[in-house]
C-alpha cells in the first residue's frame, strides 16, 4: 500500500496530517477484508499463546490462516475501541507465507513463536513505517530498522500485523491523541482503555491480539492491562531491550522506561520473556544486564510462597471494587497451605511520587513541549496535567539533577531495608490503581504503578475474572474524609459515578517482586492464581 504521508514539514496543518493518518489507518483495515467470523475463526482467536504456538508448530493451523483471522479481528477491535494505528496486511501475509513454506520444507518451526501474531505499540520502530510516538509533528519520521526487541521476536517466528495507539506525550495513563482520537474501554465506552499502551490493552482485551508489546515508565503497560482485564508485565529496566523505540528525552536515565508484554494468558507473558531474554539482547544493546532467564521449576513446591498484602498505599484510598477484589483473593489465599499472608505497610509513597514526578521531565518539559508545539496541535488535558500543571516538575540543572538522583537512591535503599526487615517476603500483592478503569481524562493518580518504576521492581498485572457490577459494588458508601487533594479527587470519582458508572469494567490486581526477580515473580503469580482459584488465561470476551 502506498503511503505518501502528509506532514508538518511538508507544509500540512496538524488537522490535515491527522486526518491523513486516519485515512491511512482505515485503508489498511479495509484491505484486511472484514467479514463475519466463522467457528474456526473464533477457535483461533480464542486460543492463547501457548496453545496457538503448539498448533502452529504442528501445522494444524497455518500461519496464513491464523494471521488472516487476527488481522480481521484487530480491524473489528478498532470499531469497538479505536485502538489501531494501522494494520499491516501485506507484510504480515508475506511473513506468514514464508513461515508456512519454512515449516513445509523443514518440518519444524522457525522458533518458539512460529506464526504467533504479535501486536506492537506504535512508538516501537518497524522498518519503513511511520514513527510518530503520538506527536503530529513527528509524522513522517520513518524507522530505518526494526526495534531490537522485534528483531529477536522475528527470529523466534513472530508475525507483526497491527500497530496500536498511544497518547500525546506517551505520558498519560489513558490514550488520547490528536492523531487518532480517544481509545475507549471495550467493556464500558465511558471509561478509558488506560495508557499509555492503551491501544494494546484494548486490542488484547478484545482478543484482537493474544500477545502485544507495550512500554511502561509509570504504569503504561499495567494500567491498560488492568483496565482491559488482561495480563501485563513490566520487568526491571535493562532486562529487555528498548533500543529502537521513539520518545522525547533520549539519553535521560534518571528514571528508565521499560518494555514488556500484554497477553490473554500468563503463559503468553512467560513465553515472551523467555524468548526475548534467550535472545541475549545485551550483546546488541550493551546497557542491558547480561542475565539469562532463570529456571524456577519447583521453587514453590519446596516451600510456601510468602505474600505481603498492601491494601492501600496510604496516599489515595482504592475504590470499593478494588478493595473487595483484594479481600476476596486474600481470603482464598489465606485458606491455602501453600501460601503465607502478611501485611505490607507502605513507606513514603507520597514522597516516592514527588521524587519520580520531579525526574520525569528534568528539562522542565522542554523537549516534550517542543514536540507538541512544533505542529500547533492542541495540548490534551492529561498532557497539560502531567507537564504544565505538575507541581513536582522542575527544570533541573546538573547539580540539582544529581541531588534529585541521590534522593531517589536514598529512597530505594530505605525501601530495600523495609523489605529486608520483612525477611522472607517473596512478593507484594496490591492494587494496580486507585480504581478500575477511570472515566475519560480522570486518570490522575499514578502512585500504585509509578511506585514500582521508581524502585525499578518488576510488577505483573492479572485479572481476577470479575467486573464491576451494581449488585456487588453498589452498597452505599460510608463518609470518608480524604487525606489530600489526590485522594479527594479519586474518591469523588466514585461517589459521583458509583458502581453504575463503572459497570462492566474488569477488576485486576498487581503482584510485585524485588528488583531482577522477574522469574520468581511469574512463578509466584502462578501459585497465587492456582491457590486463589483464578484462571491463568482470560476467558473469551463477551464481545466475540
Q: DSSP state, 408? A: H
Q: How far is the CB of 392 from a copy of itself (least distance, A)?
A: 15
Does residue 115 sit in helix, strand or coil? coil
> Which one is catalytic: 50, 68, 121, 439?
121
Among residues 62, 164, 196, 197, the one annotated as catalytic is: 196
Residue 456 is a binding residue for a copy of itself (CB under 8 A): yes
409 in contact with a copy of itself (CB under 8 A): yes
Among residues 360 and 445, whose Cβ is nearest to a copy of itself?
A: 360
Residue number with CB closer to a copy of itself (148 or 316): 148
Strands (E) in 217-347, as ranges, are: 231-234, 258-263, 305-309, 339-343
In sequence order, what are the residues at sequence separation of 6 or more whose Cβ sits closer than 8 angstroms to the Cβ of residue 283?
A: none
Part of the chain binding a copy of itself (CB under 8 A), chosen from 115-123, 202-210, 227-235, 406-414: 406-414
Give whichever of 51 and 363 is closer to a copy of itself, judged by the CB atom. 363
By CB under 8 A, the count of residues binding a copy of itself is 46
Q: Is 106 in the site for a copy of itself (CB under 8 A)?
A: no
Q: Which of residues 6, 234, 396, 467 is near a copy of itself by CB under 8 A?
A: 396
**Angle formed at CA 81 by CA 324 and CA 357, multiple of 5 degrees:** 60
Q: Which of 68, 123, 324, 514 binds a copy of itself (CB under 8 A)?
A: 514
Select from 15, 388, 403, 492 the one that contacts a copy of itself (CB under 8 A). 403
Which residue in the set 43, 345, 406, 475 belongs to the binding site for a copy of itself (CB under 8 A)? Answer: 406
Cell reading at 223: 494500567
Question: Coil, strand or helix: which one is 182?
Answer: strand
Q: Which is nearer to a copy of itself, 373 or 496 (CB)?
A: 373
- Cell (9 digits) for 282: 545485551
144 contacts a copy of itself (rule: CB under 8 A): no
Residue 38 grid coordinates: 466463522
Count CA atoms within 13 Å of residue 438 on its CB side: 25
Residue 182 CB, nearest approach to a copy of itself (Å): 31
The Cα 478–Cα 535 span in angstroms is: 33
The residue range among 39-47, 58-66, 208-216, 248-256 that interacts with a copy of itself, by the rule CB under 8 A, is 248-256
**To 10 degrees, what angle do helices 89-106 and 14-31 make?**
40
Q: Which of 9, 299, 405, 543 binds a copy of itself (CB under 8 A)?
A: 405
Cα separation, 65 vs 45, whole angstroms? 11
Query: Which listed residue (220, 223, 263, 375) is catalytic?
Result: 220
Of the candidate residues 153, 269, 455, 486, the single one contacting a copy of itself (CB under 8 A): 455
From 170-178, 227-235, 409-417, 429-437, give the range in contact with a copy of itself by CB under 8 A: 409-417
Query: Which grid cell sits at 202?
Result: 484494548
Shortest CB 259 distance to a copy of itself, Å:
16
CB of 243 to a copy of itself, least distance (A): 7
- Catalytic, 383? Answer no
Listing DSSP states for 6-70 in one string gives --TTTT--HHHHHHHHHHHHHHHHHHT---PPPHHHHHHHTS-HHHHHHHHHHTSS-HHHHHHHH
Q: Site for a copy of itself (CB under 8 A): which residue of 15, 420, 484, 492? A: 420
8-state DSSP, 365? T
Cα distances (angstroms) measured from residue 416 to each of 44, 410, 411, 413, 432: 44, 10, 9, 5, 21
> Does 398 help bind a copy of itself (rule: CB under 8 A)?
yes
Residue 310 lies near a copy of itself (rule: CB under 8 A): no
Interface positions, 204-243, toward a copy of itself (CB under 8 A): 243
User: Is 33 noted as a catalytic residue in this protein?
Assistant: no
Among 366, 390, 482, 489, binds a copy of itself (CB under 8 A): 366
Angstrom distance (rounded) from CA 536 to CA 268: 10
Q: Could you say which DSSP state residue 350 is in?
A: H
d(CA 341, CA 309): 7
Query: Is 197 an annotated catalytic residue?
Result: no
Q: Is the dihedral of CA 405, 407, 410, 411 positive or negative?
A: negative
Q: Distance between CA 185 and CA 206 in Å, rounded? A: 10
Compose the 277-296 pattern: x for residues touching a copy of itself by CB under 8 A, - for all others: -----xxxxxx-xxx-----
d(CA 436, CA 506): 7
Instruction: Compare residues 82 and 215 and give the one whose CB is closer to a copy of itself.
Output: 215
Dist CA 408 CA 450 (whole Å)? 13
Q: Report the nearest approach of a copy of itself to the CB of residue 160 (Å).
A: 23
Residue 377: asked if its preceding bond is cis (omega within 30°), the reply is no
Which three cell numbers mark 459?
Answer: 510488577
Edge-to-edge, what's the strand order for the sheet holding 231-234?
Answer: 84-87, 159-164, 117-121, 211-216, 258-263, 231-234, 459-467, 506-512, 427-430, 305-309, 339-343
Q: Which is nearer to a copy of itself, 407 or 488 (CB)?
A: 407
Q: Does 4 bind a copy of itself (CB under 8 A)?
A: no
Nearer to a copy of itself, 327 or 410 (CB): 410
Assess 399 for contact with a copy of itself (CB under 8 A).
Answer: yes
CA gyration radius, the chain = 22
Options 154-162, 300-308, 361-369, 470-478: segment touching a copy of itself (CB under 8 A): 361-369
Binding site for a copy of itself (CB under 8 A): 243, 249-254, 282-287, 289-291, 362-363, 366-367, 395-399, 401-407, 409, 412-413, 415-417, 419-420, 455-456, 514-517
Active site residues: 121, 196, 220
Amino acid at each position: 500500500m502506498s503511503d505518501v504521508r502528509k506532514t508538518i514539514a511538508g507544509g500540512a496543518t496538524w488537522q490535515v496530517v491527522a486526518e491523513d493518518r486516519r485515512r491511512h489507518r482505515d485503508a489498511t483495515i479495509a484491505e484486511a477484508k472484514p467479514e463475519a467470523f466463522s467457528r474456526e475463526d473464533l477457535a483461533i482467536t480464542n486460543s492463547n499463546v501457548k496453545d496457538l504456538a503448539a498448533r502452529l508448530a504442528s501445522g494444524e493451523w497455518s500461519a496464513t490462516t491464523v494471521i488472516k483471522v487476527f488481522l480481521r479481528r484487530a480491524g473489528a477491535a478498532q470499531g469497538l475501541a479505536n485502538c489501531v494505528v494501522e494494520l499491516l496486511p501485506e507484510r504480515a501475509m508475506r511473513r506468514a507465507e514464508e513461515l508456512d513454506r519454512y515449516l513445509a520444507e523443514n518440518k519444524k518451526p522457525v522458533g518458539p513463536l512460529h506464526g504467533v501474531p504479535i501486536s506492537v505499540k506504535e512508538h516501537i520502530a518497524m522498518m519503513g513505517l511511520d514513527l510518530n510516538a503520538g506527536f503530529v509533528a513527528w509524522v513522517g519520521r520513518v524507522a530505518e530498522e526494526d526495534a531490537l526487541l522485534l528483531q529477536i521476536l522475528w527470529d523466534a517466528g513472530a508475525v507483526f500485523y497491527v500497530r496500536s495507539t498511544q497518547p500525546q506525550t506517551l505520558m498519560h495513563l489513558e490514550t488520547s491523541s490528536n492523531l487518532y482520537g480517544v481509545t475507549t474501554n471495550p467493556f464500558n465506552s465511558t471509561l478509558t482503555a488506560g495508557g499509555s499502551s492503551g491501544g494494546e490493552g484494548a486490542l488484547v482485551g478484545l482478543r484482537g491480539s493474544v500477545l502485544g508489546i507495550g512500554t511502561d515508565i509509570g504504569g503504561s503497560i499495567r494500567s491498560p492491562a488492568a483496565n482491559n482485564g488482561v495480563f501485563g508485565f513490566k520487568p526491571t529496566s535493562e532486562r529487555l531491550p528498548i533500543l529502537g523505540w521513539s520518545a522525547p528525552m533520549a539519553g535521560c536515565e534518571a528514571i528508565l522506561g521499560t518494555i514488556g508484554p500484554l497477553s490473554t494468558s500468563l503463559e503468553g507473558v512467560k513465553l515472551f520473556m523467555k524468548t526475548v531474554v534467550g535472545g541475549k539482547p545485551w550483546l546488541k544493546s550493551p546497557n542491558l544486564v547480561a542475565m539469562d532467564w532463570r529456571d524456577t521449576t519447583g521453587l514453590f513446591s519446596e516451600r510456601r510462597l510468602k505474600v505481603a498484602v498492601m491494601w492501600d498505599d496510604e496516599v489515595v484510598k482504592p475504590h470499593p471494587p478494588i478493595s473487595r477484589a483484594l479481600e476476596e483473593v486474600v481470603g482464598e489465599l489465606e485458606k491455602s497451605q501453600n501460601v503465607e499472608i502478611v501485611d505490607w505497610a507502605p513507606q513514603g509513597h507520597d514522597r516516592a511520587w514527588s521524587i519520580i514526578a520531579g525526574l520525569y521531565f528534568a528539562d522542565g518539559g522542554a523537549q516534550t513541549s517542543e514536540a507538541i508545539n512544533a505542529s500547533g496541535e492542541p495540548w490534551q488535558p492529561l498532557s497539560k496535567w502531567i507537564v504544565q500543571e505538575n507541581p513536582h516538575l522542575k527544570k533541573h540543572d546538573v547539580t540539582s539533577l544529581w541531588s534529585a538522583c541521590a534522593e531517589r537512591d536514598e529512597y530505594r535503599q530505605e525501601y530495600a531495608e523495609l523489605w529486608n526487615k520483612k525477611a522472607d517476603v517473596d512478593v507484594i500483592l496490591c492494587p494496580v490503581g486507585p480504581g478500575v478503569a477511570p472515566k475519560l481524562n480522570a486518570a490522575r493518580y499514578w502512585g500504585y504503578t509509578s511506585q514500582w518504576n521508581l524502585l525499578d521492581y518488576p510488577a505483573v498485572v492479572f485479572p481476577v475474572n470479575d467486573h464491576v457490577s451494581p449488585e456487588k459494588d453498589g452498597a452505599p458508601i460510608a463518609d470518608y474524609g480524604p487525606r489530600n487533594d489526590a485522594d479527594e479527587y479519586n474518591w469523588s470519582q466514585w461517589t459521583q459515578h458509583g458502581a453504575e458508572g463503572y459497570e462492566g469494567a474488569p477488576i485486576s490486581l498487581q503482584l510485585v517482586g524485588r528488583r531482577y526477580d522477574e522469574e520468581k515473580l511469574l512463578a509466584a503469580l502462578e501459585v497465587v492464581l492456582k491457590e486463589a482459584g483464578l484462571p491463568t488465561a482470560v476467558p473469551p470476551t463477551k464481545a466475540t
